[in-house]
Structure 1
């Protein structure tokens, strides 16, 4: 075989072995910074974002590169993430509206007690609710997705929670303002801080327990700091769920060529919200497995007990309707629509 033929075959082999996309000729390459509060091993980073980033890079034929910065590596605190993406400190972020209470009230609505079925269905509900009522909440950003986690559980260092009396005097990290008020109505002493501070709070005795879904437990090894988990009986709504927003800097999005914006558009929207929710249901199952394998005790809060807790949550819902009204929104309509969508999803 002559050298020219050998060289041509070698080049062909290299081309066939190359990745599915290559850097496109005559196209500007865009590098985006994705800022996340959770540590790198957390499934949101290691599973979801890893795949989503790969999907976008492939769809854009290498025109978009996304660099992930976990554990707040670009600086600041988790409550600052929504402002960071608006200001261009990062290009994409994933944030919790409840970390800046009352600032994004429509996005917070599904963080009220008993406004969750599972993560997949409730994430679709949240996206629809934001489309219908929350379009003005994230001005200056391109909204990519909205979602929730599965219903939260109560993790404690000593003893199961099976009645409201078991909560009296207990120091708990509340997951958000609204759920904290309900727990206080049952006699608990609540504090609120981001999940990233959970290890310190449990280790130094500031709190006796916390409200969290299973999915986040392994990332912070919380199964080693709590020994008991109390979960509502299945089939009804969950105790609570926090809400999340996946956001992109509007200038960064608008500054990209049409085909690169299309790669973002094709991997965002209600389909992505549903996909994240489904992923979080899978994360929940894996997190529970870690808790069980650690030998922790899991107990069920009876459905009748949960119904009595829901009565204590009614004033919290009423107060939220008034907050929405004070912002010029129709609070009753927003809450009614959320419940309608949740009930329809539960029946499907």
Structure 2
């Protein structure tokens, strides 16, 4: 009887676990080889599965399976098309005005993770994430110049060139340097470079591997203070609210700074690997700016940071990011 009772109880526990199983859909507009998959989606799945005994899991839907447009990722979480999504604040800059302060040159202090800067400022920026629960916030490696047939050594070399930017903050930086900013999602940049629609792009070097940009670019300038990109992963408030108390506890334990640090560390590693590989290609020219050469760019872009912060009333957010 005792053994039978134990077996019955164990069977009931397994049945309850299966009955309460929750697979969260994570929409990914990029292919599964993109850095976000292992560093965010698979990490969330592993952490939640371990914490719940396998009853709460995360499944990635890659390549835009739940909707291809990068710009629409946030609203897909709000509307419940997916439980979780990731994207760039820059694609809808007007929504994330204070969040995007972190993208500006000189904002993230040396030695501080951009993800920590964002979480430290959460009290100031949380209103920019309506209808969602922030899952991860992080930044890219510092932006570099990725160009086609244009070698950039001084700001004068950028005059009049068409430069793709992700959002409003990078557009202000490009304008300050004399370039013409062209805003477009990253998945359109390869073709735009290949066809000459743009002359180059200010973005992180992780795009060399994640989006193969070195296949259509041949000049890279490193060391100018161009800021960085910000990213988010969010869960729709509706999806979160529908979870049981136990499942919410699992989700709460997996989101936040830990997965954000995982993402930023992976972005930096991908960027470093991409640069190392591209340096080995004889077709490519690399310009590594000296401190003096970088200062010429800094003189033009640093005032942009101060102006932008003032324009969005972001003084408190800036202070929190830099503490």
Q: TM-score, normalised by structure 2?
A: 0.87
CA distance in 1, matches of 2:111, 2:102: 11
CA distance in 1, matches of 2:68, 2:75: 10
Deviating more after overlay: 193-202 vs 76-85:
76-85
- List gaps (5 residues or longer) in structure 1: 1-21, 326-330, 342-348
Q: Is the 8 A contact 2:104 2:226 kept in 1?
A: no
CA distance in 2, matches of 1:119, 1:140: 33
Pair 132,304 (structure 1): closer, same or farther in 2 beyond 3 Å: farther
Pair 308,292 (structure 1): closer, same or farther in 2 beyond 3 Å: closer
Which of residues 50, 56, 61 in structure 1 aligns to 2:48?
Answer: 56
Deviating more after overlay: 23-32 vs 172-181:
23-32
Q: Is the 8 A contact 2:17 2:55 kept in 1?
A: no
How many residues in Structure 1 have an aligned counterpart in Structure 2?
Answer: 309
Which of residues 81, 86, 104 in structure 1 aligns to 2:78?
Answer: 86
Which of residues 245, 259, 264 in structure 1 aligns to 2:246?
Answer: 259
CA distance in 2, matches of 1:119, 1:239: 17
Q: Deviations over 1:51-82 (max 9, x none)?
A: 33222223221212322112222125211111
Q: Is the 8 A contact 2:43 2:259 kept in 1?
A: no
2:130 aligned with 1:147, yes or no?
no
CA distance in 2, matches of 1:76, 1:37: 6
2:63 maps to: 71
- After TM superposition, give the deviation of residue 247 of structure 1 in Å: 0.4
1:268 maps to: 255
Cα RMSD between the aligned structures? Answer: 2.2
1:109 maps to: 101
Pair 96,213 (structure 1): closer, same or farther in 2 beyond 3 Å: same
Q: Where do 1:124-139 residues align within 5 Å?
A: 124-129=116-121, 131-139=122-130
2:316 maps to: 333
2:295 aligned with 1:307, yes or no?
yes
Q: Is the 8 A contact 2:150 2:199 kept in 1?
A: no
CA distance in 1, matches of 2:177, 2:142: 19
SS in 2 for 1:160: coil
Q: Is the 8 A contact 1:94 1:244 kept in 2?
A: yes
Which of residues 159, 166, 169 in structure 2 aligns to 1:168?
Answer: 159
Q: Is the 8 A contact 1:120 1:281 kept in 2?
A: no
Q: Is the 8 A contact 1:120 1:275 kept in 2?
A: no
Q: Is the 8 A contact 1:85 1:249 kept in 2?
A: yes
CA distance in 1, matches of 2:309, 2:66: 36
Pair 26,177 (structure 1): closer, same or farther in 2 beyond 3 Å: closer
Q: Deviations over 1:288-330 (max 9, x none)?
A: 22322333222112222333323322443344234323xxxxx
Q: Is the 8 A contact 2:173 2:226 kept in 1?
A: no
